[in-house]
């Protein structure tokens, strides 16, 4: 039985196949700046209102808008960019509804394919969507249909959207030439999911560094320290990677919690993740760019 088959639920059964987030969010020691943005987070369900895709590779626990809003208040976050996860398929309603209730504080990254017309994409744009995502990671289905990928890229460039790409680190060198040729801004999730134990000189991280240096369209999400870490909590072995990325491209970095942390090896506490920020971005000016200015430019139509 494949990993995909093992996580399939009967129709109407939303029993989670992955753990929930830590419910005891710590109040971070680091005080976030005004308008700080969680630029990578998810809203899951509730499943009876926002059904999960029949072919999903995992079933998440309900982690709806009310729980996320409470998390933001606890951490001191103001804005958010919700990334529609693969378990919701190409139904972006959960994101659109959250944006509609946010009073202008939320944007989202959608899941779409080549069946979406320009009119449909325009409707998503009017609803607050500012990008779309493609997963290349093995446990989420692997490489997408590249004909569909390029068709979607060709459509979204007319709306000024960015492209969110999620890779396993080992695959990044293979796709780097393709990324460099893209006609749109692209954001690489979770620092490319590099393995901290492989060091700063590992080929996937060197590839990421070269993309950052050579391609002004390359942005990086300096988050997912719990995914990058090889030693586990408190995930400090991920800090040197995040620090180097911040130094290389201070105007092309964003940060997010990745709440509610689907498919992680060790469930983090979001307060601890916030407290990593001053370790890799100690300068107030850099913190402002990472948390406010850069996501404002990329997602909130700010200059």
Total domains in the fold of the chain: 1
Residue 142 sits in a domain of what CATH number? 3.20.20.140
Residue 136 phi/psi, 5-degree rounding, is -115, 0
The pLDDT of residue 174 is: 96
Mean predicted lDDT score pLDDT of the chain: 94
The pLDDT of residue 246 is: 98
What long-range pairs does 230-236 form, CB within 8 A, spacing at least 24?
A: 230/195, 230/196, 230/197, 231/196, 231/197, 232/265, 232/266, 233/266, 233/268, 233/272, 234/272, 234/276, 235/268, 235/272, 235/273, 235/276, 236/276, 236/279
pLDDT at 6 over 50: no
Specify the range with the lowest mean pLDDT, choosing from 86-95, 106-115, 138-147, 169-178. 138-147
Give 165's pLDDT tier (boundaries 50, 70, 90): very high
pLDDT at 41 over 80: yes
Could you give the percent of the chain with pLDDT greater than 90? Answer: 89
Give the residue, 52 or 228, on which the prediction is more confident.
228
What are 224-256's pLDDT values in tens digits? 999 999 999 999 999 999 999 999 999 999 999
User: Would you say 239 and 280 are in contact if contact means Cβ atoms under 8 Å apart?
Assistant: yes
Active-site residue list: 258
> Which residues form the domain of 34?
3-299
What are 53-73's pLDDT values in tens digits? 998 989 999 999 999 999 999
Please tell me whether the overall predicted TM-score, pTM, comes out greater than 0.85 for this model. yes
The pLDDT of residue 284 is: 98
Q: What size, in residues, is the chain?
A: 303
Alpha helices in 9-92 (DSSP H): 65-75
Distance CA 247, CA 138 (A): 30
Mean pLDDT of 271-286: 98
What are 74-107's pLDDT values in tens digits? 999 999 999 999 899 999 999 999 999 999 999 9
User: Would you say 37 and 78 are in contact if contact means Cβ atoms under 8 Å apart?
Assistant: yes
Radius of gyration of the chain (CA): 18
Give 47's pLDDT tier (boundaries 50, 70, 90): confident
């Amino acid at each position: 039985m494949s990993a995909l088959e093992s996580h399939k639920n009967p129709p109407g059964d939303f029993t989670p196949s992955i753990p929930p987030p830590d419910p005891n969010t710590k109040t971070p020691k680091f005080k976030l700046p005004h308008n700080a943005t969680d630029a990578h987070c998810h809203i899951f369900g509730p499943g009876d209102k926002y059904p999960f895709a029949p072919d999903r590779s995992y079933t998440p626990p309900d982690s709806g808008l009310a729980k996320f809003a409470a998390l933001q208040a606890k951490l001191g976050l103001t804005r958010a960019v919700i990334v529609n996860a693969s378990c919701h398929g190409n139904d972006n309603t959960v994101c659109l509804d959250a944006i509609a209730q946010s009073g202008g504080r939320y944007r989202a990254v959608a899941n779409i394919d080549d069946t979406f017309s320009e009119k449909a994409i325009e409707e998503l744009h009017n609803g607050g969507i500012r990008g779309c995502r493609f997963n290349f990671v093995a446990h989420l289905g692997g490489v997408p249909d590249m004909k569909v990928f390029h068709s979607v890229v060709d459509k979204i460039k007319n709306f000024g959207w960015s492209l969110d790409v999620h890779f396993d680190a080992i695959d990044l060198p293979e796709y780097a030439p393709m990324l460099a040729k893209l006609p749109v801004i692209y954001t690489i999730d979770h620092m490319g999911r590099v393995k901290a134990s492989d060091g700063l000189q590992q080929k996937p991280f060197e590839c990421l560094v070269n993309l950052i240096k050579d391609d002004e369209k390359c942005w990086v999400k300096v988050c997912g320290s719990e995914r990058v870490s090889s030693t586990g909590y408190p995930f400090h072995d991920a800090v040197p990677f995040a620090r180097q990325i911040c130094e290389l491209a201070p105007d092309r970095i964003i940060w997010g919690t990745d709440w509610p942390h689907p498919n992680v090896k060790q469930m983090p506490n979001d307060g601890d993740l916030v407290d990593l920020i001053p370790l890799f971005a100690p300068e107030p000016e850099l913190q402002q760019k990472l948390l406010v200015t850069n996501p404002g430019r990329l997602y909130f139509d700010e200059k």
